Structure 1
C-alpha cells in the first residue's frame, strides 16, 4: 500500500486501517497536524492507542500516507476524466473539472496538502513536483503537435496547477460556490485566449 504504513493481513485489519485513515484525515482537517494527536485519531476511529502503532509508527507517517494518497487519487481521477481526449484543450477542460469535483467531494484537501509546507517542505515540494512531471510529459506532446505554445513545460505546469488550485480554493472551499461549469468555462477562457489582447 505505502512505505508509510504496515499493510494489514486480514479483512478486519483492513477495516481498522480505513477507520484510522478516515479519522486522521478528519482530525488533521479540524485541528491541523500540530493540533491533532494520535489519541484524537484513535478516539475518533474507536480503537485503542496501541492499535495505531500496528499500522503507523508516528503521526507523521499517517500524515505522509494521506498526502501521498491524495496525490494518487487526484491523478487517478484526472486520468480517468481525460482518457478519451484527443486534444490537449479537451484534456485541460476535463482535468480541471475533475479536480474541481474532487475538491467539492473532499474539502479537507487543501488543509492536508498545504500544511505540509510547514511540517516538512520536502513533502510539499514532492507533492507538486510529482504533479509537474505528470503534466510536463503531456504538455511536451501537445507542444510537439502544435497544440500548445512554446513555453517551458515545467513553468507552464506550475502555472496551470496554480490556476486550478487557487480557483478551487477561493471559489469552492472559501466561498462555497457549487457552479463548476461556470468556473471551468472561465478558466478555459484564460487558457484559450490568454490574458493579453
Structure 2
C-alpha cells in the first residue's frame, strides 16, 4: 500500500472517529505548542486527548505524521476563521484590514500556531511551504478580484500578496503572541493605511 493510500485508509469513518481524531489534533497542538516537536511525545498527546495509545495509531502513523496533519489543520483553521469575515468587508482595501484583524484575533487565541509553523520549516518543509504558498495564493486571488472591481490598482500581483502576508505574519507575532494588550482594531487600521497608500486605487 502506498503512503497516500495508507493515509486515506486512516480517515475516520464514523462521527465518533472524527471526534477522536479532532481531539488528538487539538492535543497535539497543545503538546507541540508547549514543548516543541522534539520534546513533545505521542504519549503526551494521547494523555491530553484522553485517548488510548492504540487510538493514536488508528489515525496517525507516527509523531511526524500527526505533526504534518496538525500544520495542515491549523492552516485550514486560519482560513476558515478569516475567510467568512473577509467576505463581509466593504471593498478590496477593507478586506485586507479585516483579514489582518481576524488573523490577530486568531493568533491571540491560538498562540501555539507560531511555534508549530516555525518548527515545520525543519520538521516538514513541504507542509511549511504549503502553508505560506496557499495563504499567499488566496490573498493574490482576492487582490485580483479587487483590481477587477476597481478597488485597488490594476497592476497588483503575487509580489503584493507576499508583501502583505509578510507584514501580517510579523504583526501577528508582535501584537498577537508577544504582547496582545493593544487593541487589534488599532493595529489593523494602521497597517491598512499602508496598504491603501501602496495599492489603493489611484486618483
TM-score (norm 1): 0.88
2:113 is aligned to 109
Alignment of 1:65-76 (within 5 A): 65-76=69-80
Contact 2:104 2:175 in 1 (8 A): no
Q: Which range moved further: 141-150 or 68-77?
A: 141-150
Change in CA separation of 1:12 and 1:145 when aligned onto 2, cut-off 3 Å? closer
Structure 1 residue corresponding to 2:102, chosen from 98, 105, 123: 98
Tell me, what secondary structure is at the counterpart of 2:36?
helix
Number of residue-to-residue matches in the alignment = 192
In structure 2, what is the equivalent of residue 142 of structure 1?
146
Residue 186 of structure 1 deviates from its aligned partner by 1.2
What residue number does 2:3 align with? none
1:33-72 superposed matches below 5 A: 33-72=37-76
Partner of residue 31, structure 2: 27
The whole-number CA distance in structure 2 between the counterparts of 1:167 and 1:13 is: 37
Task: Please state whether the residue corresponding to 2:111 is helix, strand or coil.
Answer: coil
Given that residues 147 and 156 in structure 2 are in contact (C-alpha distance below 8 angstroms), is that contact kept between their aligned partners in structure 1?
no
Instruction: Tell me if structure 2 keeps the 8 A contact 1:20–1:42.
Output: yes
Output the CA distance in 1 between the equivalents of 2:9 and 2:154. Answer: 42
CA RMSD in angstroms comes to 2.0
Q: Which stretch of structure 1 is more off in the superposition, 16-25 or 156-165?
A: 16-25
Decide whether the 8 Å contact of 1:5 with 1:57 is kept in 2: no
1:105 and 1:5, CA in 2 relative to 1: closer, same or farther beyond 3 A? farther
Asked if the contact 2:24–2:56 (Cα under 8 Å) also holds between the matched residues in 1, the reply is yes
Which residue does the alignment assign to 1:157? 161
Q: Deviations over 1:130-177 (max 9, x none)?
A: 111111112122233443235551111111111111011011211232
Unaligned runs of 5+ in 1: none
Note if contact 1:88-1:147 (Cα within 8 Å) is conserved in structure 2: yes
Flag structure 2 segments of 5+ consecutive residues without an equivalent: 1-6, 199-203
